[in-house]
Amino acid sequence: MPDEVLTPDPKPDPKLDSSDAREYNRKHRWLSVADTAIGFVMLLALLLTRGSAWLRDLSWKLAGDHYALALFFYVVMLALLAQLLGAPLQFYGFRLEHRFHLSNQTLKGWLGDELKDMLVGIVLGGIVAELVYLTIKGFPEWWWVIAWLCFTVLFVLLAQLAPVILLPLFYKFIPLEDEALKERLVRLSEKAGTRVRGVYEWKLSEKSKKANAALTGLGQTRRIILADTLLQNYSPDEIEAVLAHELGHHVHQHVPKSIAVQTVVSLLGFWLASLALNYAVDHTAAFSGLHDFANLPLLALVASGLALVLLPALNAYSRFHERQADLYCWKSVPSVTPFVTAMQKLTQQNLAEQNPSRIVEVLFHSHPAISKRIAAAEQYTRS
């Protein structure tokens, strides 16, 4: 069997998707667009109205003469402002999941998660901001290179720690009790050349009716997590097929490759931020210098703009990885039938679109259309 990635392109058939699936995904996309737009408007408004300078001055009043503390207060106020402006959309998203019977989460539980998410964002955002402005103060000429190096180390560290520190803040995990399934999945992972540190049941049903599985972490923190909603509704063969796809990412080294791409993109982002910051300081009176953290919205605006511009290309790269992982899955399991039935079940359970329009797939989807994945699996059996 050749190693090429099969990419059949079936003609769009809107009948593949239910009216609920089309409406849910359409609303979800507009929610994402609106959230992004609010973020951009907020950053622009802070810069154009001198609102950022006002927040900076307030931060100095609260912190006295302590630069690092003043910067942290600024980050906290910026996060609170973003949370306040985005709250209506976040609540609409919460209601949207309930409207389409995809959520089990209570309002109290959702509010608790929103609070935890904001606090985690403040801590991580505060660390990044402190690193950036520490390097700006100490190395004004080459701060963007040093900050990029620090960011890269932090990014890799978070990839390692997320399964054991961040995810448990939001979900419960217990060791998988089904020993037969556990042994089967461990053997599959060993066949793929990776050693997992455990197989865990992910208590996703406490919040969602959707199903999912993942191979998370790096090195000593690598583990298999299976949503209880997956364990309840899918056969062992289907679960094996889903995990085989995830292991395909390991076999093809997609995590280090994605980290490498992210490293290049972040380097470009820091360089562009440096150019924008130098221009703003040299040609406007908005900031007192490079170290004036009132310019933080400008740095965030550059980073957000770059991410938006590169999104179609990064999505295309991700879809290529997903097709490679699918191909590995089909080669690793006795039959592609469990893969196909798992995809069909996941489509129905997660209310996913099987056949989005091409523009929607390009702009919003990090995975190939499900109809294409199923068609490719069926073509594989005929090859």
The pLDDT tens digits along the chain (383 residues) read 344 444 444 444 545 788 999 999 999 999 999 999 999 999 999 999 989 999 999 999 999 889 999 999 999 999 999 999 999 999 999 999 999 999 999 999 999 999 999 999 999 999 999 999 999 999 999 999 999 999 999 988 888 888 888 899 999 999 999 999 999 999 999 998 888 888 999 999 999 999 999 888 877 778 899 999 999 999 999 999 999 999 999 999 998 999 999 999 999 999 999 999 999 999 888 898 999 999 999 999 999 999 999 999 999 999 999 999 999 999 999 999 999 999 999 999 999 999 999 999 999 999 999 999 999 999 999 87
Closest CA relative to residue 214, chosen from 174, 167, 246: 246
Separation of alpha carbons 2 and 6, rounded Å: 10
Predicted local distance difference test score (pLDDT) of residue 164: 86
Separation of alpha carbons 81 and 49, rounded Å: 15
| Residue type at position 52 | S
Predicted local distance difference test score (pLDDT) of residue 9: 44
Residue with tokens 């090195």: 219
- Other Cβ atoms within 10 Å of 366 Cβ, number: 14
Quote the tokens at residue 218.
């790096």
Predicted local distance difference test score (pLDDT) of residue 285: 83
Burial pattern 254-272, b for ≥16 Cβ within 10 A else e, equals bbeebeeebbebbbebbeb
Predicted local distance difference test score (pLDDT) of residue 117: 95
Q: What is the pTM of this model?
A: 0.89
Closest CA relative to residue 328, chosen from 236, 223, 254, 256: 254
In this structure, the strands spanning 213-216 and 223-227 are antiparallel
Predicted local distance difference test score (pLDDT) of residue 215: 86
Q: Are 182 and 129 in contact (CB under 8 A)?
A: no
37: Cβ–Cβ under 8 A, 6 or more apart, which residues? none
Predicted local distance difference test score (pLDDT) of residue 8: 45
Q: Write down the domain spans for the chain.
A: 14-139+264-382
